Structure 1
């Protein structure tokens, strides 16, 4: 990225705040009767207006998800489109890694723990593969920043990404949408539902996505050898209402995916330089392995949500759920062949897979509107999961590690209106967590001793919200949280031993405001934060042995802010913007990590007497110093419909890829843009549009592999296409 472009992006970031002030002023004078719709969220396990929730929350409506995914994008489309959120994956369309306010985990193992929990339809998706379930028929995405340890539990020290799909309704409704674009990219989505009796409502939805292989392998001479995928997913929801006081919602969902795993590219970064070099060719790789990075996963799950009204003011909710998945990915890790591109010391291919992951969860929650002043809820939670991880390095026999995890918790939260304008919310949760791993080392040909770890913890939070008016409120929140102990066993496959990390704890301080101006045509929410994390779990990945070792950093501090604005400039013109800034710093005088095993990088950190890097004072990996998103939509009436044009841009500031800093393994800033233009008619029943994703065809470095050469992987390519939608 050029210095001029980076300067422009920085100016744009600062301009986001100026846009809020100028937008407010313009909105005061705008001659429009159209106001913004109220946003209802369930961030505190009950339906509330976003303006009343004392937490930093950003939302993304389902229609925006559909627009962003028209070019075949998966769940990583959320990256930088929510202020403060980053996402990437070295495992293709499965096993995404999320980072919020700078906190995340770069560990690529299939048993990796993350400090951001993904919750779909009230059910936690703990495993990294479960987190990648496709997005379709989505009602709303909520991103809850900061620790969420009271109502949602462990492993939420950074926050939560919460997905709510559309539920059955009494009204009969259906839609079909389809898009087709370059590279043979096809996305088709449909749903239908309604009442089949006065006591039974149903909704069925489905998704189909595919892309043709489009990347040539010039080593084998095979054209269109890899890069494609085919994915199918479906969901059936049935809502039973046997009595006025009882509801039972059954959710059954499944996914089948086959395609290319991450595409690693050898030596696309030059030593002592930043940015992609002439070895990078988006349309070509040079793999001497003929497998071409295949990946395949199948998943399904079911849940039963029972809601019973104990009285007019008390409700009991039970959520019972089961999730399972299995599959594998095979990767050409060195990204090339013995002849290059560039120098590759040795060839490396690895296959990883999950055999029969089983996850069972049970939640029981009671909510009581005790009076006009007091609301409280309390409950019990149970989690049990097991899986076998298989790693095949090819130079030794397979290694298999059997992981198990059992957790239970009790929790409670209460909100009390001190006055008609001031509300205090207090929550507490006790959690007990146990993990174990039994490993067979293929390289050693022996079973290793069982590794066990456990801990318990009390998490709590206190928040105060004061509403100066119906349209303006301020809040402050103090929250604690913890990430349970972790076992990292990938090194078993490379004749190593498992490593463990003790519990990670966080104290977070946050204050903000939520406001509506100009007859509810201008929404402006903002928050500032500071956190202090003890024993942050990180993964030291790479070095000469390509080891993956868990480490606990003594302390990490972070501070920054987020701001979201939504401006209905006129009846026909809507603008949104989100800006997040995060500064993170490692405070650990004793931590040491290995440098790149390839010797092809230039570390910026000091070394100790053994040649290990001292990372004290470094920022966290994959923690951009800012994220910025902008959207604008303009409509113009025409005949019995309207023309529209929509554009969206997501930008990310300086980002280091690894725990240690180098000249090469960082980006100075990246961006992507999209556009959609078309026509809606018959009161919005039909829509036809042209779209483009990554319209400037940016090649953004998303991650690196440092043990063999300067291997990297990049973002998705540009896709142009046409999209159609019909509502019935």
Structure 2
């Protein structure tokens, strides 16, 4: 990356990774010319939906046969979302009941399924939604932001999935599967450029190495110029980024009993942290102030963010006479640093010159960093191969994580120097589990499933004491270290009943578990700990192919109860972060997916959900903001009673619509128009309710017009994201001055894709 001398704007320049990928492309085409042509599957019939295969139960199955609520994203729908430099938050609202938000920008996404998630922003926070990327759990929230590219399929599994997947999955799983190496000599090159200098390049190709070995290399490069102007800080221009990721896979299959898949991947991110903007919410409402300008900010702190992540995995398979044996080993490590101006403005109320914009009670500039991180996972799983009515699988799972994370504070009024020593904390987390599952076909119409898992979860956290006289003394009221040791048995039972050849009914009862959480002591609060939480979920539904497979529909009804749910009270008038347990919380609702070819060239998809959530604890109370309009009753201590409040970041309504219309042209070409729209209703941002900290409804739409030719080998398009240019508060900082952050701006550009 370079900066121009005049404007200070970053300028896109080649990187070694880009050059390497460009040089490999001619070699890939040469291989394609000399290698024997691969066998091709029969072309899909126009206007007919293809069967959706998922691995929600760790086996490849038709989605209709799995007794749980599953939504998928793949193919063109994913490609459209991934155009224009989007990160993993692009999936938010694209399937029922899925919401994703972040107060760190492109790093540290927080996931919510059916309203159930965790708002904790600490580096050692755990989440009840698990992200499984190529069979490896990405436990630390920073790992969950790894770029999504060269993807075969994304599955969103709603409800507890703890008997078969990883750990900490009481809310559900987002499962991402990359395209795997194959014997074919294919690949693609996809590039786009748009407003704010937004450039994206994604490319992948297979390299058949020998009769037994095949490789696949894929990469994604994303760039955006700094487009937000700041006249009050050394960081003059903000909101740009350079995000680079690469994945190399090698597969071995000699046609015998043994096969293997190896994966090495990495990411490098440099750019802006989330931009906090002081006093942007109109008091008494959740509207933006009248003079709000998204392209300007007024902060006197320094803003920057960098992250590096590398990982590797090995998936080994032995195909024995009666069963398969799998060994899945994973390693991940990440280092990160994110610094921002928490007060969202400049100056302070106590200074002779005051501050702005609006009221700034006191300056707050801080950073969080991950200095040391290692995650190792190991799974051994046995899977039956029999053709009879009974199938089974069983295994053992190990998770070990070592995490060193730091907190920094800075003196904004003294040239942004670090004030005091670095607060250093270290945590280890060891989890052991054994699990098993059975499926029994009672008849051709009825299948029963059940699973059982025993989990033991141990944590140990310690914080180093600060030097005597440090200007930011640590609250040591609860000490500087703590540990936890929890165990739990989780289970699930499900049934699928084939009503006819096109329609299945299903039902499922499942439990989930999340181990205790510990948060370190800091200047604004003591060390605190939350007890483990358990979940019980019920759902029933129907999945059906309609109109000779020209349409497909699924409907699910669900209810879940969480005992001792871990919640995070953030901010308030004392600026503290505190872990809490609610005695109970609940959620219930309905989810719908519908896909249909209205004509052979006109495909429409509709999905939506209604989620009603509530905290159920009459005595639970939290601190509130100063200067906002609190809507909850307060107790004698002035704390807000939150019984009956919805869970934070849990919109009642989520809806997504896509439509694609193609017009055939000569010589195998096609003109097309594609549009997609995602809606979420207003959302409570914190545990307490206030007029200002309720994010307003958000409707974002995309549009894509293009032409493909050469039987789909080449494609050119123009695109727009957030085409109505909606600007909404999507999150906030509870800092007594109505500080918030907003959604991404409208972008538009051009895109070209070439497939080999």
1:398 equivalent among 419, 422, 427? 422
Instruction: Find the counterpart in structure 2 of residue 346 from structure 1.
Output: 362
Q: Is contact 1:499–1:549 with CA below 8 Å preserved after alignment? A: yes
Q: Which whole-Å CA distance do the structure 1 matches of 2:697 and 2:399 have between them?
A: 40
**Partner deviation per Cα, 1:250-301 (whole Å, 9 max, x = no partner):** 0000000000010111100122122111253110000112x2x100000000
Q: Which residue of 1 aligns with 2:533?
A: 504
List per-residue Cα deviations over 1:369-418 (Å, max 9, x = no partner): 33420110000000000111110022432101101100000000000000
1:251 aligns with 2:278: no
Is 1:116 equivalent to 2:132 in the alignment?
A: no
Aligned to 1:22: none
Residues in 2 aligned to 1:717 and 1:337: alpha-carbon distance in whole angstroms: 24
1:123 & 1:584 partners in 2: Cα distance?
Answer: 30
Instruction: Tell me how large the CA RMSD over aligned residues is.
Output: 1.4
| Structure 1 counterpart of 2:624, from 587, 595, 601 | 595
- The partner residue of 2:178 within 165, 176, 180 is 165
Which residue matches 2:716?
688
Residue in structure 2 matched with residue 459 of structure 1 by the alignment: 490
Equivalent position of 1:422 in the other structure: 446
Q: How much has 1:219 moved relative to structure 2? A: 2.5
Aligned to 1:370: 386
Measure how far apart 1:235 and its partner are.
Answer: 0.4
Which one is further off, 630-639 or 440-449?
Answer: 440-449
Distance across 2 between alignment mates of 1:439 and 1:549: 16
Specify which of 428, 434, 448 is matched with residue 410 of structure 1. Answer: 434
Change (3 A) 1:579 1:38: same
- How far off its partner does 1:179 sit? 0.3
2:305 aligns with: 295
1:393 counterpart SS class: strand
Deviation at 1:194, TM superposition (A): 3.7
- In 2 relative to 1, CA 175–304 (structure 1 residues): closer, same or farther, beyond 3 Å? same
Q: 1:220 to 1:539 in 2, by over 3 A?
A: closer
Q: Provide the rounded CA distance (Å) in 2 between the counterparts of 1:658 and 1:77.
A: 22
- Aligned counterparts of 1:270 and 1:719: Cα–Cα separation in 2: 26
Q: Which residue of 2 aligns with 1:708?
A: 736
Give 2:640's match in structure 1, choosing from 613, 616, 622.
Answer: 613
1:326 is aligned to 2:335: yes
Deviation at 1:72, TM superposition (A): 1.0
Q: Does 1:178 align with 2:191?
A: yes
**TM-score, length-scaled by structure 2:** 0.90
Q: Does 1:49 align with 2:59?
A: no
**Whole-angstrom CA distance in 2 between matches of 1:245 and 1:131:** 34
Structure 1 pair 283–206 and aligned structure 2 pair: CA distance change class (3 A): same
Partner in structure 2 of residue 486 of structure 1 = 517
1:243: how far off? 5.1
1:237 pairs with 216, 232, 249, which one? 249
In structure 1, what is the equivalent of residue 592 of structure 2? 563
Structure 2 residue aligned with 1:3 = none
Is contact 2:460–2:484 with CA below 8 Å preserved after alignment? yes
Contact conserved, 2:465 with 2:480, CA < 8 A, in 1?
no
Q: Distance in 2 between matches of 1:445 and 1:221?
A: 29
CA contact (8 A) 1:216 1:222 kept: no
Deviations 1:463-494 (A, max 9, x none): 010011221000010000111111122xx231
- SS of match in other structure, 2:544: strand
- Shift in alpha-carbon separation, 1:364–1:682, aligned structure 2, 3 A: same
What secondary structure is seen at the aligned counterpart in 1 of 2:356?
A: coil
How high is the TM-score relative to the length of structure 1? 0.93
Would the aligned equivalents of 1:153 and 1:431 in 2 still touch at CA under 8 Å? no
Deviations 1:311-370 (A, max 9, x none): 1x4101000110000020001111111221111111111110101210000000000033
Q: Structure 1 segments of 4 or more deviating over 6 A?
A: none
Q: 1:368 to 1:221 in 2, by over 3 A?
A: closer
Quick check: 1:217 aligned with 2:234? no
8 A Cα contact 1:377 1:413, kept in partner = yes
Deviation of 1:675 after TM superposition, in Å, equals 0.7
Cα separation, partners in 2 of 1:594 and 1:688, compared to 1, 3 Å: same
Does the Cα contact within 8 Å between 1:267 and 1:341 map onto a contact in 2? yes
State the partner residue of 2:13. Answer: none
The answer to whether structure 1 residue 99 and structure 2 residue 126 are counterparts is: no
* CA distance in 2: counterparts of 1:549 and 1:468, whole angstroms: 50
Contact 2:591 2:607 in 1 (8 A): yes
Q: Pick from 365, 379, 404: which aligns with 1:388? A: 404
> Shift in Å at residue 111 of structure 1?
1.0
Deviates more, 1:702-711 or 1:646-655: 702-711
1:78 equivalenced with 2:94 (yes/no): no
SS, match of residue 89 in structure 2: helix
Q: Deviations over 1:39-88 (max 9, x none)?
A: 00000001000111111000000432221121211000011111111111
Q: Secondary structure at the match of 1:103?
A: coil
- Which digits, 9 at most, give the CA deviation of each residue in 1:187-211, with x for residues without a partner? 0000010421110011000110000
CA–CA distance in structure 2, aligned partners of residues 608 and 705 of structure 1: 23
The question of whether the paired residues in 1 share the 8 Å contact of 2:54 and 2:63 is answered with yes
**Cα deviations across residues 73-123 of structure 1 (Å, max 9, x unaligned)?**
100001111111111100110000111101011111111111100000000
- 5+ residue gaps in structure 2? 1-44, 348-354, 411-418, 467-471
Q: What SS does structure 2 have at the residue aligned with 1:620?
A: coil
Unaligned runs of 5+ in 1: 1-31
Distance 1:106 1:185 in 2: 29
Distance 2:465 2:578 in 1: 16
3-state SS of paired residue (2:144):
helix
Is residue 2:572 matched to residue 1:543? yes
CA distance, structure 2, for counterparts of residue 279 and residue 479 of structure 1 = 50
**Alpha-carbon distance in 1 for matches of 2:133, 2:664:** 37
SS of residue in 1 equivalent to 2:464: strand
Paired positions, count: 689
Change (3 A) 1:62 1:119: farther
Higher relative contact order by CA 8 Å / sep ≥ 6: 1 or 2?
1
Contact 2:513-2:534 at 8 Å conserved across structures: yes
Report if aligned partners of 1:567, 1:576 keep a CA contact under 8 Å in 2: yes
SS of the equivalent of 1:494 reads coil
For 2:386 and 2:158, the matched residues in 1 are separated by 29
Deviations 1:634-685 (A, max 9, x none): 0001122000000000000121111000011113411100011100000000
- How far the C-alpha of 1:221 sits from its partner, in A, is 9.4
Tell me what 1:335 maps to: 344
Structure 1 counterpart of 2:139? 126
Q: CA deviation at 1:153?
A: 4.3
Return the offset for 1:500. Answer: 0.8
Q: Please state if 1:530 is matched with 2:559.
A: yes
Moved more, 137-146 or 339-348: 339-348
Q: 1:33 to 1:269 in 2, by over 3 A?
A: closer
Q: Distance in 2 between matches of 1:708 and 1:603?
A: 12
- Give me the whole-angstrom Cα distance separating, in 2, the residues matched to 1:683 and 1:392: 56
Instruction: Find the counterpart in structure 2 of residue 630 from structure 1.
Output: 657
Q: Contact 1:354/1:389 (CA < 8 Å) preserved in 2?
A: yes
TM-aligned CA deviation for residue 590 of structure 1: 1.4
